[in-house]
Amino acid sequence: MLAVPPRLLRLLNGVRRLCFGTTPRMLATLAALGILAGWLALREPEAAGADADAELARALELARDYEAANSELRRELEAERRLRRVANQTTAALAAQIRALDEQILDNEQRIAFYRQLLAERGSDVSAVAIRSFEIVPDYREDHHQLVVVLSQPADNENFVGSLDLVLSLRSAERGEFELRPAFAAGLLQVNFRYYIEFKEIFQLPPGAEIVNGQLVLRDAANEVVTSQILREQAF
């Protein structure tokens, strides 16, 4: 049923009271007023519907704006997260570089001390060939190690020609403790130097074996033992 606006309803009631029981002309007037009331009643929901459509359109437009703003904020957040990840990676890389530089500085200081000692021994009564440094350093490959050796002799000596012999005491769950002369890629460790020599050679241990101790033996060209050194205690 159509709803008649209150003001128009009051107007119709007034007219009805004035014209009740009057001429057909007045009845026609009432009929015309009734049609007008019906038309106005139909216009109200149309206007309300038009307002609802406009509100819906505005709401949809706001939703699109909010979605766009939300997407933009998400992009900014992801960019910030990427920057933080890059910053963290950069910090870690810088820390690793600092550690590497610290190790290089320490190694360089040790070299400087070694060279100073060599220079200080010039003109002294030191005449023997010496093993200045003997280390075994784990390599980045599994079961691989690096032999690091420094040999020296007085500068006025003739060239020393000889060889090195490395004997390791190993331990494994399968074999227990056993000795091994590791094979080097260069074969027999030949040495030929005048003042000093430093070299590094890679060797491989049996799978699962760990180093317990070791001895480095320096021999001359006649295979006679010149000197030897026990591996100092270190972490393998």
DSSP string, 160-195: EEEEEEEEEEEEETTTEEEEE---BTTSSEEEEESS
In this structure, of 6-10, 101-105, 137-141, the range with the lowest mean pLDDT score is 6-10
Q: What is the DSSP string of 135-151?
A: EEEE-SSTTEEEEEEEE
Query: What average pLDDT does the segment 119-140 reach?
Result: 75
CA distances from 64 to 50, 56, 75 (A): 21, 12, 16
Per-residue pLDDT of 178-234, as tens digits, reads: 998 988 866 678 889 888 888 888 898 888 888 999 999 999 999 999 999 998 755
Question: Residue 6 — very low, low, confident or very high, per pLDDT cuts 50/70/90?
Answer: low
Distance CA 150, CA 198 (A): 4
pLDDT at 21: 47
Where b means 16+ CB within 10 Å and e means fewer, 9-21 reads eeebeeeeeeeee
Distance CA 133, CA 188 (A): 19
Residue 146 has pLDDT above 90, yes or no: no
pLDDT at 8: 47
Question: Residue 1 — very low, low, confident or very high, per pLDDT cuts 50/70/90?
Answer: very low
Question: Residue 132: is it exposed, middle or buried by C-beta count within 10 angstroms (0-12/13-18/19+)?
Answer: middle
- pTM, rounded to two decimals: 0.50
Taking phi over 0 as left and psi of -120 to 50 as alpha, with beta for the rest, 96 belongs to alpha
pLDDT at 20: 46
Distance CA 59, CA 67 (A): 12
Distance CA 73, CA 142 (A): 48
Phi, psi torsion values for 38, nearest 5 degrees: -65, -40
Query: What average pLDDT does the segment 162-187 reach?
Result: 87
Mean pLDDT of the chain: 76
3-class DSSP state for residue 97?
helix
Residue 83 has pLDDT above 50, yes or no: yes
pLDDT at 15: 46
CA distances from 21 to 10, 16, 95, 234 (A): 19, 9, 107, 127
127-230, CATH topology level: Immunoglobulin-like (2.60.40)
Residue 156 has pLDDT above 80, yes or no: no
The structural domains of the chain, with segments of one domain joined by +, span 1-120, 127-230
210 membership: H or E segment, kind and range = strand 210-220
